Amino acid sequence: MLTALAACIGVISGFMLFVRPVITEVRDMFSEAGIPDSYMSIIFKAAAICFLTQITCDICTDSGETAIASAAELWGRGALAFMSLPIVRTLLEHINEILN
């Protein structure tokens, strides 16, 4: 059990070292494009929800709990739909401006 925990900590640490430059580059691209930081925050939160939902579903499926895996997947989809509402609203406002 301790070995598995140590391996998980090592993998997460390596992942963080790999992701940090990517996050910095994405932040730079967003700021150059004039996109507010709030949208970048939403995108990163959505990515985190996707990762956590996938991990949860895999663990539940491996444990033989397919019903719980389906419920976790449904929750993840609902959370993403809820989080995307500000971006969808802004997109629709821009479309409305273009059409008028």
Where are the domains positioned within the chain? Answer: 1-35, 37-100
Q: What is the mean pLDDT of residues 17-43?
A: 85
* pTM of the predicted model as reported, rounded to 2 decimal places: 0.71
Could you read off the pLDDT of 52-93 as tens digits, one per residue? 899 889 888 988 989 999 999 999 999 999 998 988 998 899
Query: For residue 44, is pLDDT > 90?
Result: no
Spell out the long-range contacts of 82-90 with Cβ–Cβ below 8 A and sequence spacing 24 or more.
83/42, 83/45, 83/46, 83/49, 84/42, 84/46, 86/38, 86/42, 87/39, 87/42
What percent of the chain has a predicted confidence (pLDDT) above 90?
A: 29
Q: What is the mean pLDDT of residues 24-39?
A: 85
Per-residue model confidence (pLDDT) at position 75? 93
